[in-house]
Structure 1
Amino acid sequence: MTKRYNALASHGEAQRSKKGGPGRKSKAPTTLEQGISDAAKKYCLFHHLWVLPLLFPIKARPDVDPRDLSRWQSSEGQTIAEQAELYQMLPSELHKSLTTFPEFSRIFSKAMTEERANIVKNIKDVSVDLFSELDIKATLFSGDKALKALDPTLLGLLKKPSDSQYTQLSPILFAHPTEI
């Protein structure tokens, strides 16, 4: 009976593989795709959580300083500065692919979306610990959104109403804690 079950199971697996069903083996990412994905995760974690809509395609390395404050004066200036920042943070072996590989933006955006979801999940998982010093109820983060909008402690963190004061942050966040 066991032999017969195993034979049927392997036959079913082979049929699903041919049809592209759940048993289908997924194509392993190439070295280039993996490099793009890794760079996107780094970009999401250290630079921006979202890809600007006009970030891609990048034709050539933008000749602009991404730290220049004038970049905020127009949406076009911001897009060019974001492109320069992306180009600057990418490893040099991905520079050519950024401008020539047609799937770059799709792979990059997909990896950023996945990484952002991971970041948000991790923050939600530790939100109770993050806000434990502020005496915020643990159920507030897992409950109804309407409760969050009415909670005076959270509203104080958002500086609403205006007579609330900001909670003093941990001195470890600053180079010179006495100058907070």
Structure 2
Amino acid sequence: MDNADLEDLDSDAEQHRRITHVPGPQADIAELRAPNSLTTRIEQEAKKYLLLYHFFIIQSLFPAAPNPNTDRRDPARWKSQDGKLKGALTELYEMIPADLHESMVTYKQFGSVFVQAHGQERSNVLKVIKDCAGALFAPYNISPDLFTGKPACKKDNKACLELLKKDGVGEYTRFAPILFADPKQMVTGGFLKSPILV
């Protein structure tokens, strides 16, 4: 072995030591509570996954297998549980930075750290959304109490049905009218320019 190989081994050993560091019995409280950088990165990616991809995680997603590289646009993906799982795993690999891919498979705590951070962020986000419901729907003359009541109330509220595009009028679009500057005229130039969102 030459010096370059020894340096590589030293750097690999140092990285492994940092990732798997277990504080000794005499460790102070700060060391015991300090998250390592890998855990922090996993938590950050879990929060991003919640906000940008999925509000819920498929239970069997972890422990993660190697990337199955399935085509996310293939409709056959939705026909079986295995197809859904492979599609979700491919999507997860696409959103997680490449330098964490190996850790997804080798780091045994990856799944539990990811799921825990995802769940914690989901409860935080739900409270924020619920608290903002009044401000979000006030311009559309929808009472925030509508969403805390019985489901039957929503079926009878004309303003709510219009925002959900379930009023039976006009062509269905997958974009909610609330995302546009003028919900009555959903034009490309007004997309994501709702006064509430801006």
Of residues 131-140 and 34-43 in structure 1, the stretch that sits farther from structure 2 once superposed is 131-140
Aligned residue in 2 for 1:96: 102
Extract unaligned runs of 5+ from structure 2.
Answer: 1-28, 191-198
Aligned residue in 2 for 1:32: 38
Percent identical across equivalent pairs?
Answer: 34
Q: Could you give the per-residue CA deviations for residues 128-147 of structure 1, whole angstroms, max 9, x where no partner exists? A: 11111232234444x5x33x
Residues in 2 aligned to 1:74 and 1:133: alpha-carbon distance in whole angstroms: 42
Cα offset, 1:171, TM superposition? 3.3
Residues in 2 aligned to 1:122 and 1:138: alpha-carbon distance in whole angstroms: 14
TM-score normalised according to structure 1 size: 0.70
Residues in 2 aligned to 1:51 and 1:170: alpha-carbon distance in whole angstroms: 25
Aligned residue in 2 for 1:150: 153
Contact 2:58 2:85 in 1 (8 A): yes
Residues in 2 aligned to 1:39 and 1:55: alpha-carbon distance in whole angstroms: 15
Q: Could you give the per-residue CA deviations for residues 43-95 of structure 1, whole angstroms, max 9, x where no partner exists? A: 01000011101111222111212232221111110100100110111011211
CA 1:155 to 1:28, structure 2 compared with 1: closer, same or farther past 3 Å?
same
Aligned residue in 1 for 2:188: 175
Extract unaligned runs of 5+ from structure 1.
Answer: 1-23
The reply on whether 1:119 has 2:125 as its aligned counterpart is yes
Match of 2:72 among 66, 74, 82: 66
Q: Secondary structure at the match of 2:129?
A: helix
| Cα RMSD (Å) | 2.9
TM-score normalised according to structure 2 size: 0.65
Q: Secondary structure at the match of 1:126?
A: helix
Residues in 2 aligned to 1:121 and 1:159: alpha-carbon distance in whole angstroms: 25
The answer to which structure, 1 or 2, has the higher relative contact order (CA under 8 A, 6+ apart) is 1
Letter in 2 for 1:150: C
Letter in 2 for 1:171: F
Aligned residue pairs: how many?
151
Letter in 2 for 1:79: L
Aligned residue in 2 for 1:48: 54
Residues in 2 aligned to 1:28 and 1:34: alpha-carbon distance in whole angstroms: 10
The reply on whether 1:85 has 2:91 as its aligned counterpart is yes
Q: Secondary structure at the match of 2:58?
A: coil
CA 1:117 to 1:98, structure 2 compared with 1: closer, same or farther past 3 Å?
same
